[in-house]
Structures are given as structure tokens and as C-alpha cells.
Structure 1
């Protein structure tokens, strides 16, 4: 299982209805830090399995969604727990930052 790319249309069901804990990465295909982050998130999805759902939103293709969640720079990872945003990481962060967020919110 790897990171799934979603758009504004599928966001509500995919991100908010995905389960208890979801990480959503807001980025773009042309963004160098986003390209570095994607393999880290893929790895996390493999390691965490069913405990967390990790999704990706392309800000160029879904600007209204990025605006709705206050995404001003990329990458931004927003942690949703039970459909509510509970944490936000702006910029490229080490893998353990995301692991700690998963551990904090995943059941």
C-alpha cells in the first residue's frame, strides 16, 4: 500500500472518512521538498499499515482545498483524527516527526 493521490472532489470521503487517523500531504509535482517527502510517506504507509491512511493532494490541481486548510507553503502535512484537523507540519520534516504524530493519534 502506498500514498494515494486525491483531489478536491474525493477529499471528503477519502480523507475525512478514511478512518481514525489520516495524514494529508499538500504539495505539487514540481516541488523539490515534496519529491523528497513522498518516499518517506510511502515508507510510513508501509510500516504503519491499517493504523493510518496517508494521502496526497496536488495544490495546483486542487487550489480551493489548499486554501480551505490554510496551506501557504509546500509541503504541508495535516494530521486528521476522526475527521478533524489536529496537527500541521509545514515544510520537510524528518520521518520521526510524522511517526510521533501517528503514535499520538492512531489507535
Structure 2
């Protein structure tokens, strides 16, 4: 089971924009090898930082409107949203320490 919540175009506003803490969005797809590679890393960091940050996953094939609104051109792409605004965005597969450091930028 994933530590990140699955979100769709229909639930995005409530789960992400309505969140009382920063949200890390993982834009991914089933067919994406690097996305599958990042999934356990995202889950580990979500477990470690879950009290301070909410983690959600959006399948770009199932929720294209949200992916378009963020200008997603490649996956995996991660966006950090705080108070309804995109605070930070980064793309690509990376080691856990690097991923966690990117997420922690929003916490400082």
C-alpha cells in the first residue's frame, strides 16, 4: 500500500488546495519506468515526513487536466504546493536523499 494518497482531477481541489499543510504531488503513469523506480522512495519519504507534509499521487493518464495545469511535460515530476500555490517543482528519478532534500526545501 502506498503512503501517498491517490488524487484525481475530481479530488484535487479538496485534497491539495484545501490542505492545511504543504502537499507534495507525484505526477506519474503506469508505463513510466522512472516513476516505478521512484514509488518506493516517495513512500519512504512520505512515511518519514508525513506529519509535516501531505503526499499525493496523480496518474497523468487518468487526470490529464491537473497535469496540464501544472505544465507537466515529463514524468516523474514532483510539485510542492503550499497555501494553494506551487512553491517548488522538480522532475526526474533521484536517490532518496536528494528527493527528501527537495521536499524539505518547502519546510524551512
String of CA shifts for 1:13-32, please: whole Å, max 9, x gaps: 11112232110011101111
Structure 2 counterpart SS, 1:87? strand
How many residue pairs were aligned? Answer: 107
Structure 2 counterpart SS, 1:105? coil
Normalised to the residue count of structure 2, the TM-score between the two structures is 0.90
Counterparts of residues 67-82 of structure 1 (less than 5 Å)? 67-82=68-83
Deviation, 1:7, is: 0.3
Deviation, 1:72, is: 0.4
Structure 2 counterpart SS, 1:8? coil
Give the root-mean-square deviation of aligned CA atoms. Answer: 1.5
Consecutive unaligned residues in structure 1, runs of 5 or more: none
Normalised to the residue count of structure 1, the TM-score between the two structures is 0.91
Q: Displaced runs of 4+ in structure 1, greater than 4 A?
A: none
Counterparts of residues 10-89 of structure 1 (less than 5 Å)? 10-89=11-90
Consecutive unaligned residues in structure 2, runs of 5 or more: none
Per the alignment, do residues 90 and 103 of structure 1 end up closer, same or farther by CA in structure 2, a change over 3 Å counting? closer
